[in-house]
A and B are shown apart, each in its own frame.
Chain A
């Protein structure tokens, strides 16, 4: 299988990926905040052995102290692990699928944090896949679970299904037309939330957003997954409408070709400039204004993230080296036919 960001799935012009995350704890052990290192080791080995037995050759086991900080940051940029997990420099277990689309963080916030990402809009398939691994583990251990409040988790905010389903969306047209604040309110009223994927509060280059369920208690998995799917379809329809209006405007067409011009010729690309331009080019690609395959833009968005760039291109982590390496990678990918 290929990495999620190298392919385009259903509704792929707008939906880059779908993710499912399940949180589980094993009844026999106290939660990670109270678990000693011996206990952590036991839990990690137990889960690793179960997953290896049930899915031979599909997964590998990584101890995070064998990775560099940059490698861990890169994994977080690619949504394989959480930023918290990336930030820890003690020894932690990570079970990773060979395509890197599925990862199980061990003894992080909870004993088991299983997350899987698939390209395009496919919450049912992603849930089914995550559920398969979940079931294999549940056959061998007793999960901490209560009939009244569901899966018992270290943070009360995960109780219930302990499942988050999310989609990563590219919404340049809705964003340009200033429609997002209103949209965010209605998404919120439906029990979901929308937030920028890249960036910190006011600085959010690139119009990439993630939509996920806010609550996990009192709503079953199927309903959450179905709701996510219908909300996403609804947002995608709105983005399509907004996009068809925008691309009639010659000024927008000009912006798309100019962005393409810079990306295919620049010698230095800062992270923020790159994110802004690739977002515009991706918009041109999604609307058929410009002939650049969506796969390429998806791959560049992930490959252009700073830590990932350092890891895959082997450059040091100064912005000058990165900006040059980024520009070179973008030129090569975007120009090749």
Chain B
């Protein structure tokens, strides 16, 4: 389906809205969605994340046999089902498929760690240098993809510093 706004690109964002007393569904491409203020996939507006999930599945998936057999012990969902529907099945899914969901979470929020509001500070595990660099790279690529070059440049410098420390 083509985007209703530009009529050129493939529509990936589907928005349910009420207009003129009728329910209407709007189909927009990623650029137009972002331009019109829907780029954030705000839930409650029926935006579909399965496109995004599918886009990532190829890069981050486990080898085929593991993909076939691995199911969430609590709800029975496979990663493939989560990808095709855009819906996570239960709280345990986040544990079972954590590594594969993480890039999606990164892509959506630009971050991958919760900042709790209450006094209980989250005790962050000490990461190895490789983990730190990997995390920074991920953050950098998502900064680039949202055209936040300032952040990307700062992250690149951080990565350089870390990598530089290694050679010394």
Chain B residues whose C-beta falls within 8 Å of the C-beta of A33 in the assembled complex: 85, 87, 89
Kindly state whether residue B24 has any CB partner on chain A within 8 Å.
yes
| 25 residue pairs A–B, Cβ–Cβ below 8 Å | A25-B91, A29-B90, A33-B85, A82-B44, A82-B45, A83-B46, A84-B16, A84-B44, A146-B114, A148-B122, A150-B114, A157-B43, A158-B43, A160-B115, A161-B115, A193-B37, A198-B19, A201-B5, A201-B28, A215-B110, A215-B111, A221-B117, A222-B117, A305-B21, A306-B21
Q: B114 contacts which of A30, A31, A147, A198 (Cβ < 8 Å)?
A: A147
Tell me the complex Cα distance, A204–B166, Å. 55
Across the interface, which residues of B come within 8 angstroms of A334, CB to CB?
Answer: none
Q: Mark A65-108, 1 if CB is under 8 A from B, else 0.
A: 00000000100110000111011000000000000000000000
Contacts of A1 in B (CB 8 A): none
Docked complex: B79-106 residues within 8 A CB-CB of A: 85-91, 94-95, 101, 104-105
Q: Which residues of B contact A221 (CB under 8 A)?
A: 117
Contacts of A164 in B (CB 8 A): 42, 44
Is A27 an interface residue when CB atoms closer than 8 A count as contact? Answer: yes
CA distance A189 to B32 in the complex (A): 17
Given contacts A148-B114, A149-B113, A218-B111, whether A307 and B21 have CB atoms under 8 Å apart is yes
Residue B40, interface by CB 8 Å: yes
Residue of B nearest to A310 (CB): B21
Q: Is A157's CB under 8 angstroms from B49's CB? A: yes
- Flag if A217 contacts B18 (CB, 8 Å): no
A212: chain B residues within 8 A (beta carbon): 42
A300 sits at the interface (CB 8 A): no
Interface of B is mostly: loop
**A159, B21: Cβ atoms closer than 8 Å:** no
Task: Output the least CB separation between B27 and chain A (Å).
Answer: 10
Known contacts A73-B23, A86-B18, A201-B28; A193 and B42 CB within 8 A of each other: yes
- Those of A313-329 within 8 Å (CB) of chain B: 317, 322
Interface presence of A49 (CB below 8 A): no
Give the distance in Å from the alpha carbon of A203 to the alpha carbon of B105 in the complex. Answer: 33
Which chain A residues in 294-309 approach chain B with CB under 8 Å?
A: 305-307, 309
Instruction: Give 5 nearest A-B pairs by CB, closest first.
Output: A306-B21, A195-B37, A218-B111, A150-B114, A144-B91
Residues of A within 8 A of B16 (CB): 83-84, 87
- Contact: A220 with B88, CB < 8 Å? no
For chain A, residues 268 to 301, give those with C-beta under 8 angstroms from any C-beta of chain B.
271-272
Cα distance, A188 to B39, chains bound together (Å): 10
Known contacts A31-B90, A147-B114; A156/B105 CB under 8 A? yes
Chain B residues proximal to chain A, CB less than 8 Å: 4-5, 16-24, 26, 28, 32, 36-47, 49, 74-77, 85-91, 94-95, 101, 104-105, 108-117, 122-123, 148
Residue contact B113 to A30, C-beta cutoff 8 Å: no
A152 at the interface (CB under 8 A from B): yes
Contact B46 A30 (CB under 8 A): no
Interface contact tally, CB-CB below 8 A: 177
By a CB distance below 8 angstroms, the chain B residues around A155 are 41, 43, 49, 86-88
List the B side residues contacting A306 at CB < 8 Å: 20-22
Which of the listed residues B5, B40, B47, B101 has the most CB atoms from chain A within 10 Å of its own CB?
Answer: B40
The answer, among B5, B18, B37, B112, for a CB contact under 8 Å with A184, is B37
For residue A184, which residues in chain B have a CB less than 8 angstroms away from its CB?
Answer: 37
Residues of chain A at interface, number, CB under 8 A: 69
Which residues of B have CB within 8 Å of A144? Answer: 90-91
Whether the Cβ atoms of B36 and A201 lie closer than 8 Å is: yes
Chain A residues with CB under 8 A of B43: 23, 109, 155, 157-158
* Contact yes or no, A159 B116, CB < 8 A: no
**Could you say which of A77, A144, A155 has the most chain B C-beta atoms within 10 Å of its C-beta?**
A155
Q: For the complex, what is the distance from the CA of A157 to the CA of B53, rounded to whole Å?
A: 11
Contact present for B114 and A218 (CB under 8 Å): yes
Question: Quick one: closest B residue to A152, CB to CB?
Answer: B91
B19 touches A200 (CB 8 A): yes
Complex Cα–Cα for A216 and B115 (A): 9
Say which residue of B23, B40, B86 sits within 8 Å of A86 (CB atoms).
Answer: B23
Q: How many whole Å from B49's CB to the nearest CB in chain A? A: 6
Query: Is A271 in contact with B21, judged by CB distance below 8 angstroms?
Result: yes
Complex: A194 Cα to B21 Cα, angstroms: 23
CB distance from B48 to the nearest CB of A (A): 10
In the complex, the chain B residue whose C-beta lies closest to that of A144 is: B91
Most A-side CB within 10 Å, residue of B24, B91, B111, B112: B91
